Structure 1
Amino acid sequence: LFGTLIAALLIFAVIFIVIPVIYRYSYVFQRNLLFLNFVSVPVDFKHPEKLNLMGARNFYVRTDDNVTIGVWHILPSKFATSGSQKDTTDWLNRGDPIFVYMHGNSGNRGTAHRLELYRLLQKNNFHIIAFDYRSYGDSSPVEPSETGVVNDSKHVYEWVKLKAGSSPIFLWGHSLGSGIASHLLDILEKQKEEIQGLVLESPFNNMSDEIRSYPLARIFKFLPWFDYFFIQPMYDNGLRFESDVHLSKVSAPIMILHAEDDIVIPIDLGEKLSDSIKKARISQNSNSPLIFHPFSKNEGLGHKNIYRAAELPLYILDFVNNSLAYNQQRS
């Protein structure tokens, strides 16, 4: 009996004392759990047609801190007649809307559910610019940070802007990518860039609330030192992803997509984000479109499969058209 008690105490100490201490004082541990950039499946990035992605071209963009970013440009279906690797850059300035897509943690731009979303957008005749942040896919093996991945995204946007002419540019962020896209939009609007709209798929409002809601964190939430060991160190290390703050003053139209059965990022975090943006826009007398589309748990879409929703193409088309009309009227 005594031995069992000692074993139980040791297990308790390891789980509720040792692990929190390691987490608090190890930036590497925090970073790896957040970005999961070590979780990936090999992809032949130079030949996206091998993934049944037609009309896609692989190329690279270099950032101001010497990071090389792997990128795919996926043509609208009306232009995507083959898997040709010819330079398709000139197609960007023909007026068709462009989505710059920021993926979530783990995997790369060739992960299965991301490919399905590209195909859906392609089918509806949008350009897609999909890329991997530093340390993901075939991009430079430089350790990520919030500042770093946002900077990568900014350089990809700048490349698109340079080639797009007057074609409308939208941002799309999924999961962790929603925090990156929100941060990027804040930066771009402060620089007077004209972003036509932002789509947030399965987003959270800030890293603090996301940590509290994360399934693995629930076993620690009763601890009086939870914030000190799990939240404060993330914020101290600049891993905040405060979308509610970044989107509080932006003027671009926003559409939020969230499934009721998302257990990775619960829908209430998407609702909190929507509410915070709505309150900010009311206080600023802004009538910029803000749309929240929940998806019933009966559809079984979870965190990664909203692309399967039958109503999604209509939601996207309506958002694009309404955003373009709003921005034209505003200008």
Structure 2
Amino acid sequence: MKWLKWIVGLLGVGYVVLCALLFFTQEVLIFHPRALPADYNFEEGVETTLRTPDGVDLSILEFVHPAAEGAILYLHGNRGSNRRSLYQTRALTDTNYDLYLFDYRGYGKSGGAIESEAQLMADAQLVYDSLAAEYGEDRIILVGYSLGTGMASYLSAHNTPQHCVLVAPYASVTAMKNLWFWAVPDAILKYPLENVANVAAANCPVTVLHGQADDFIPYSMAEELRDAAPDRVRLIGLPETGHRGAILHRQFGQTMAGLLH
């Protein structure tokens, strides 16, 4: 029996170590920023910064057109920077809406580092507020891709934008954690990013585009978002499309064109 107690004790210690490791390294697991040098030139758009209350400069790349009818705020995924966002939003840079690409802390030319969900959402709200002051909320379309759907859905639940578009969204980061680490308690997560709850509380129509061949975020999570508010959520399935392909799919551009005209 001693050997059995020894094995149980060893497993218990291993479980505690795993939970502690996940708690203290979750920023590394969730966020994969790619910093850009201060002298990096995007060669298109206009670079601006927005300073947070704690003194961090957030990098924003703008595409502003004369007589624009509104603004699109794009919230990118967990990898890269505005350089990648620029590639992902090619279909949106020359429309009748101004386009704003926003780099989170530590991404691109933005300073600081992400330390909490509250901080992440406060930064997104700060950018949103700056656009609302210029355009009015009813002329802002939110577009979130992958990780960015968490911020987009949050903004849609705490404000009154014109529309919210979620591309390759998750039900929540908690649900994503449970796909691989189901035995780890939900309480260790500092970034639950509850998309389902936010979509259910959204103050605008929501359009969801999701690859039906997505092997990273299951298509069933997009269905959960639709079911959270079926009267306000439109789900567009993208056949034979994976996670990264969703934001580059022609249907994304076509869907946005329909919203902008």
Whether TM exceeds 0.5 here: the answer is yes
Alignment of 1:67-78 (within 5 A): 67-75=56-64
Task: Give the corresponding residue for 2:146.
Answer: 175
1:263-318 per-residue CA deviation (whole Å, 9 max, x = no partner) reads 2211111111111122xx5xxxxxxx421111001xxx421222443333322222
Contact 1:102–1:173, Cα closer than 8 Å, also in 2: yes
Give SS of 2:115's match. Answer: coil
Q: 1:232 aligns with which of 184, 187, 202?
A: 187
Q: 1:258: which partner in 2?
A: 210
Query: In the alignment, which residue of structure 1 is the partner of 2:3?
Result: none
Of 136, 144, 165, which aligns to 2:107? 136
Amino acid across the alignment from 1:177 = G
- Distance, in Å, in 1 between the alignment partners of 2:146 and 2:247 is 14
> Are residues 23 and 158 of structure 1, via their aligned partners in 2, closer, same or farther at CA, if it must alter by over 3 Å?
farther
For the structure 1 residues 121 and 253, does the alpha-carbon distance in structure 2 shift closer, same or farther, using more than 3 Å as the test? same
The answer (yes or no) to whether the contact 1:74–1:127 under 8 Å persists in 2 is yes
User: What is the distance in 1 between the residues matched to 2:199 and 2:112?
Assistant: 30
Q: Retained in 2: the 8 A contact 1:68–1:139?
A: yes
Native 8 Å contact 2:142 2:152 kept in 1:
yes
Deviation at 1:46, TM superposition (A): 5.2
Q: Cα distance 1:125–1:150, how it changes in 2: closer, same or farther (>3 A)?
A: same
Partner of 1:295: 238
Query: Larger C-alpha radius of gyration, 1 or 2?
Result: 1
Conserved in 1, the CA contact under 8 Å of 2:171 and 2:225?
A: yes
The residue aligned with 2:19 is 24
**2:36–2:109 Cα contact (<8 Å) kept:** no
SS at match of 1:247: helix
Tell me, yes or no, if the aligned pair for 1:35 and 1:144 is still in contact at 8 Å: no
**Could you say what secondary structure the match of 2:93 adopts?**
helix
Aligned residue runs from structure 1 range 208-219, under 5 A: 208-213=174-179, 217=180
Which residue of structure 2 lines up, in the alignment, with residue 248 of structure 1?
200
1:118–1:313 Cα change, 3 Å = closer
Q: 1:275 to 1:43 in 2, by over 3 A?
A: farther
Which residue identity is paired with 1:232? A
1:164 Cα offset (Å): 2.4
User: Normalising to structure 1: TM-score of the pair?
Assistant: 0.69
Structure 1: segments with no counterpart, 5+ residues? 1-9, 80-90, 189-193, 282-288, 322-331
1:261: how far off?
Answer: 1.4
Which letter does structure 1 place at the counterpart of 2:29?
Answer: L
User: What secondary structure sits across from 1:137 in the alignment?
Assistant: coil
Instruction: Look up the match of 1:271.
Output: 223
| Cα 1:45–1:303 shift into 2, 3 Å | farther
Higher strand share: 2
Aligned length: 252
Distance verdict in 2 for CA 1:22–1:106, change over 3 Å: farther
CA distance in 2, matches of 1:249, 1:308: 28
Look up the equivalent residue of 2:223 and give its one-letter code. E
| 1:12-50 Cα distance to aligned partner (Å, 9 max, x none) | x79x963x533422433122211233xx2646675211x
1:202 and 1:154 map into 2 onto residues whose CA distance is 22
Alignment of 1:122-201 (within 5 A): 122-164=93-135, 168-188=139-159, 194-201=160-167
Aligned residue among 302, 312, 326 for 2:252? 312
CA contact (8 A) 1:99 1:129 kept: yes
Corresponding position of 1:109 = 82
Deviation track 1:208-258 (CA, whole Å, cap 9, x = no partner) reads 211223xxx2xx55xxxx143xx3311xx3x11111112222230110010
Q: Could you tell me which amino acid in structure 2 is paired with residue 74 of structure 1?
A: F
Q: Percent identity?
A: 23
Query: Which structure 2 segments of 5+ residues have no match?
Result: 1-6
Give, in whole Å, the separation in 1 of the partners of 2:248 and 2:155: 27
Report the secondary structure of 1:311's partner residue.
helix
